[in-house]
Amino acid sequence: MLSAAQTQLKKVFLVFVTGMLLTIWGLRAFIWDRLREDLVYNRMDVTTAEATDIIVVTPFDVILLQVKIGLVVGVLVSLPALVWVSRDSLRQRGYWPSSAIPRWKLWSFGTVIFLLFLGGVAYAYFLFFPIMFEFLAANAVQAGFKPTWSIVMWTEFIFFLALSFGVAAQLPLLMSATARAGIVPYGTYRDKWRYAVVGIFVFGAMFSPPDPFTQVMWGVPLVVLYGISLGITKLAVLSQQAGEQVSTKAVARDRWNLLAGTFLLAVAGVYLYLLEGGIGATNDVLAAVGSRYRVLIQPADLTAFGLSQSATAALVGVVVAVPVTGLALFYLRIKELEQTTRAQAAAAAETAAEGEAVDEGSTTAGQPAEIDIGAMSAPALKAANVEAFVELSEERAVDYAQQAIDEENPEKAQVILDRLDEAEEYEAQKQQEQKQEQAEEEEENFVASTAAGIVDPFTEDETTEDDIGGYYYDIQFILDSLTSKAIWLVGTFMVVLAGSFMWLYTGGIGQVREIFFRNMPEELVEEPEIVVLHPVEALIFMLKFSTLLAAVSIFPILLYFAWPAIEKRGLSTGDRNVLLWWGGSLFVALIVGTALGFLYIAPTILSLLAADVVNSNMIIAYRISSFGWLVIYLTVGVGVLAMIPITMVLFHHGNIVRYRRMRESWRGVVLALFAAAGFLSPSGIWTMFLVAIPASFAYGIGLGMLWMYTRIGRRVPRRWVDTAE
């Protein structure tokens, strides 16, 4: 492409530069203001609008963002020019559409893609974004946060969500095109609609905010679009069949009176609507339902190209009547197709019955003896089952084709030969499937025998802790034992996740914030401001915290249910009831540690950290994602740190994990703590150290406590133990 277009690359480059510069100029001149007004401020109440700001975080945010957007737009507008100047090279390599495809079909296909994309983006811009931003800003203000959205994050959020809506809007075209091409039959789309609905909501969960409100706004329109797409797909398939079996010219010639009447009625309807009060009635209905939208065109405005109002209204009526008449013609073609199909089916059934009466030796339905190929018409042969042609020999098929040619029916001759080819492909495919099934059975037998040989060395008697294969089978055995208890684990997880998220979502996070700042020493720092830089940052924080809380809640239950399998595999011989004590102590330690950190430790530390900032007359505006996790580490983290040595003592006492094993594995435990801290803590190496180092220190305290515990146990006389027993 580049080689063929090198003499005209200057023109392509000029298109690219023009698109980029116009985009940057448009953003600076009016686009930013228009976006803020349309998407943020128009629907908000006064309090929420005053609290919401679009800010820049670094000095280069705006200029770099404008250049990035300009580059993207420049590339998009220059691609068609590059393809056009390279068309000769593409045609030589077979990538250019052949001349057999009409130009109007290509242009129609491209126009439909553009209009569908534009419709999806329009829904996002005029309905989804204004309602969603109003909701997100109001939720942040209610929780006591200030929605100061970064212009980079806000713009990227708008761009990707609008792009996802535009891509999702291609669903009707995708379904109809794949159905017409035979890639995915219409029946599959119709029968698998439940999976489609689930897929739509899963796809929406990846692109839209996690709250139920925006999920519904995302998913419900797409589900409705899927239903509309089913109808369009069915019409597309019927149109394809009608094009193959029904002549459009013949239908138009036979039904010209209906088509002419439809055209005249459409013109008259548009004319009366524009000039006889239709616009006023529409505006009255919009006002009655409380909508702020109105039809702005009035009868007095209907003048174009020097024409009168009546002439302009009639011209608009003609423009509308043309596609309406096209739809009527399409409907008449479908009706004609239905009649033709019924006639062909009746003829095929009658011919099959006659063939069955003639051939008394044939008893299997669908065999060639049951159909009279010589007497059947070409459409009836097309409608017959392919299995009826499987045993038809090539010589016999050629005889039937020659007979059809002699009868001056070349279409029937071609159909006979085509059905013979289809029957051969069908038979070859069946043989291939049989071979594949046989190969799969042999492979399964081989895998089963090989697996049996692998499992033999890893029996309970021979498996060691250093044996990787043994660990694999142990884990698989434990997971299999949890299958019957999965409902309890999943149920507990979902209840804790949904309950904690809904509590935070409905105002709980605002209550926590108020109580927290109430306990901060007033003489050290004034109350800081909590800001959100991303529109869904507060919701994402709530969801992450709720997920973490749900995971912690099911961990003791998971171990309790898995304990019989752990004992059976010989991984531990401890007391299962210790897990109940451990779960209770975990709950108590988290509650006590969280209360201690929430009321005293976290407020004091944050006040000390902010004291120098206040003394320097700086404004404190903490980001919710950083501030929230810091508070969690200073509150819930205190309980978790206290739980580490308690867990070690309980596990040693219950003979679940002995002290010697904990002491020998301290290096692996420290590495695991650093890895977990890097995964769970916010971005940044310092926060990883702030989490991992105290956790490692708590593990060391636990080892010290166990050393003292074992020393005291050794010094207790045996007779005291016997007496106690």
CA 97/CA 105 separation, integer angstroms:
11
> What would the mean pLDDT of 87-97 be, rounded to a whole number?
74
Question: Does 202 map to a domain?
Answer: no
Q: Give the range among 67-76, 124-133, 195-204, 511-520 with minimum mean pLDDT.
A: 511-520
Distance (Å, whole) CA 311 – CA 319: 12
Q: What is the pLDDT of residues 456-498, one digit of tens each?
A: 444 444 444 444 445 566 677 777 777 777 888 888 888 888 8
Instruction: Give yes or no: residues 420 and 508 share one domain.
Output: no
Q: Is the pLDDT of residue 108 over 70?
A: yes
Residues 430 and 565 occupy one common structural domain? no
Q: Is the pLDDT of residue 393 over 70?
A: yes
**What is the reported pLDDT for 276?**
80
Same structural domain, 591 and 498: yes
Amino acid identity at 568: K
Say if residue 538 is in the same domain as residue 443. Answer: no
Q: Are residues 497 and 438 in the same domain?
A: no
Residue 293 located in a structural domain: no
Using a cut of 0.75, tell me whether the model's pTM lies above it: no
Does 582 map to a domain?
A: yes
Cα(615)–Cα(301) distance, integer angstroms: 65
Cβ proximity of 651 and 578 under 8 Å: yes
Q: What is the pLDDT of residues 434-461, one digit of tens each?
A: 776 766 565 545 444 444 444 444 444 4
Q: For position 25, what pLDDT does the model report?
A: 92
- Look at residue 444 and tell me if it is in a domain: yes
Instruction: Give domain status of residue 304, yes or no.
Output: no
Domain boundary among 625, 641, 657: 657
More confident site: 614 or 52: 52
Q: In the chain, helix, strand, coil percent, each to 5?
A: 80, 0, 20
Residue 12: both structure tokens together: 């392509």
264 vs 465, more confident: 264
pLDDT tops 70 at residue 144: yes
pLDDT of 719 higher than 80: no
One domain, residues 149 and 9: yes
**497 and 608 co-located in one domain:** yes
Which range, of 69-83, 190-204, 263-277, 581-595, averages the lowest pLDDT?
A: 581-595
Q: CA–CA separation, 388 vs 355, rounded Å?
A: 12
As for how many domains the chain has, the answer is 3
In a domain, 467, yes or no: no
Compare 253 and 305 and report the one with higher pLDDT: 253
Is 649 part of any domain? yes
Given pLDDT bands bounded at 50, 70 and 90, which one contains residue 20? very high
* Residue 499 within a domain: yes
* Max avg pLDDT among 75-89, 356-370, 509-523, 702-716: 75-89
Provide the domain limits for residue 623.
Answer: 486-657
From 147, 169, 191, give the residue that closes a domain: 169
My answer on whether 447 and 584 are in the same domain is: no
The better pLDDT of the pair 673, 574 is held by: 673
Q: What is the per-residue pLDDT for 455?
A: 43
* 518 and 449, same domain (yes or no): no
CB atoms within 10 A of CB 457: 11
Domain identity same for 424 and 498:
no
Find residue 147's DSSP bridge partners.
Answer: 532
pLDDT at residue number 460:
43
The answer on 397 and 530 residing in a single domain is no
* Band of pLDDT at residue 119, cut at 50, 70 and 90: confident
pLDDT higher than threshold 70 for residue 158: yes
Last residue of a domain, one of 134, 169, 204: 169
**Three-class secondary structure of residue 137 per DSSP:** helix
Residues 445 and 588 occupy one common structural domain: no
Is the pLDDT at 312 greater than 60, yes or no?
Answer: yes
CA distances to 180, 274, 285, 298, 313 from 301, rounded to whole Å, are 44, 10, 21, 5, 10
Side-chain half-sphere of 25: how many Cα atoms within 13 Å? Answer: 7
> How far apart are alpha carbons 133 and 141 in whole angstroms?
12
